Each structure stands twice: as C-alpha cells, then as structure tokens.
C-alpha cells in the first residue's frame, strides 16, 4: 500500500488515459509512475483482476487487481520507489501492511485498519488478504475488533 498525498492509505493506480489500450495498460503505466521502473519487471494482467467498486465521483469506477510478487521484485520496488515520477507528489511513500495480530489482540492488522483509507481501499486490502494471490495454506481467520463492521483476516500458518 502507499501513503497518498492527502494522508490516506491506498493502492497505486489512477485514470486510464486515451493512449492506454486497456485497463491493464493504464494500470501498468500508473504503477511505473507511482512505484518506479522496478514495476516494469512484472505486468498486471486481466487474470489479476479481483473486483470493481463504483467511486464517489461521476463516471468513476475503481477496478481492483492483486498481483503476487517475488520477494526480489518487492524489494526492488521498495528500493526504487523514492525515484518514481510521482514520489513526493501523489505518493508520499510505501507502507507494508502488518498481516498479523499481536498477542494483545489489538496490535498489527486490527490497529492498521484504524487508519484512514481512500475509497474502498480497506475493503480491497481485506479482499486481497482473503482471496488474493497467496498460498491457501497461509490464510488464517483472526478475531475481529469488537464493534467493527469489517472482518479481519491475516496471513499465517494454519494450525
């Protein structure tokens, strides 16, 4: 995830331009602009599509994709993100999501979910954690926070 210019958390992305021949071409262009040239080492494809959400503005639909990266790809993206075209403008920095819950039942993912997210990014994060391109044996349901409307999932070995 990334910290946006407005202080909210979200995923990289943006609007499809007229020169983009598909949603995926637009997304891959936006990934290079926001994450840097290391994002050119992989390509988000139609098979990575997860869901769509109607935005609050007119004619805005957010399409959500989830792509599994190798550790080397992730580290390269993190290392080069500060040199990306939009760093310091649209993007203030990358954020790793704590996909665990501390023994106190509060720290980790439940506390992370208390942050301010843009649009449906919180729900998309949970969707990716549950249904994303991750190993099935790495999914574990965890206890949700009392009084909250979302369900929390995290990645960890099943018992």
Which among 6, 26, 25, 24 has a CA at the least distance from the CA of 15? 26
Burial 8-19 (b: 16+ CB within 10 A, else e): ebbbbbeebeee
Q: What pLDDT score does 133 carry?
A: 53
pLDDT digits (tens, 9 = 90+) for 66-88: 998 899 999 999 999 999 999 99
State residue 65 phi and psi, 5-degree precision: -125, 150
Which among 121, 120, 112 has a CA at the least distance from the CA of 154? 112
Instruction: Give me the CATH number covering residue 12.
Output: 3.90.79.10
Average pLDDT, the chain: 83
pTM score of the predicted model: 0.78
Q: Is the pLDDT of residue 55 over 90?
A: no
Residue 144 covered by a domain: no
Residue 149 covered by a domain: no
Residue 159 covered by a domain: no
Residue 152 covered by a domain: no
Domain containing 38 equals 2-131
Total domain count, the chain: 1
> Distance between CA atoms of 113 and 129, rounded to whole angstroms?
13
Number of helical H runs and strand E runs in the chain: 4, 7
Q: pLDDT band at 136, cuts 50/70/90?
A: very low
Q: What pLDDT score does 61 carry?
A: 86
Residue 73 covered by a domain: yes
Residue 82 covered by a domain: yes
pLDDT digits (tens, 9 = 90+) for 140-152: 434 344 444 444 4
Q: What pLDDT score does 132 carry?
A: 57
pLDDT digits (tens, 9 = 90+) for 84-109: 999 999 999 999 999 888 888 889 99
């Amino acid at each position: 995830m990334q910290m946006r210019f407005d202080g909210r958390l979200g995923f990289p992305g943006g609007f499809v331009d007229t020169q983009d021949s598909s949603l995926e071409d637009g997304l891959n262009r936006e990934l290079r602009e926001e994450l840097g040239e290391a994002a050119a080492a992989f390509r988000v494809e139609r098979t990575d599509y997860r869901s769509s959400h109607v935005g609050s503005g007119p004619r805005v639909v957010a399409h959500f994709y989830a792509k599994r990266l190798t550790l080397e790809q992730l580290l390269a993206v993190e290392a080069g993100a500060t040199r990306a075209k939009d760093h310091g403008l649209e993007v203030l920095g990358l954020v790793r999501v704590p996909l665990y819950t501390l023994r106190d039942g509060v720290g980790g993912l439940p506390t992370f979910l208390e942050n301010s997210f843009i649009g449906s990014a919180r729900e998309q994060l949970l969707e990716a954690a549950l249904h994303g391109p991750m190993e099935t044996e790495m999914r574990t349901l965890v206890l949700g926070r009392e009084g909250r409307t979302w369900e929390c999932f995290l990645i960890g070995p099943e018992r």
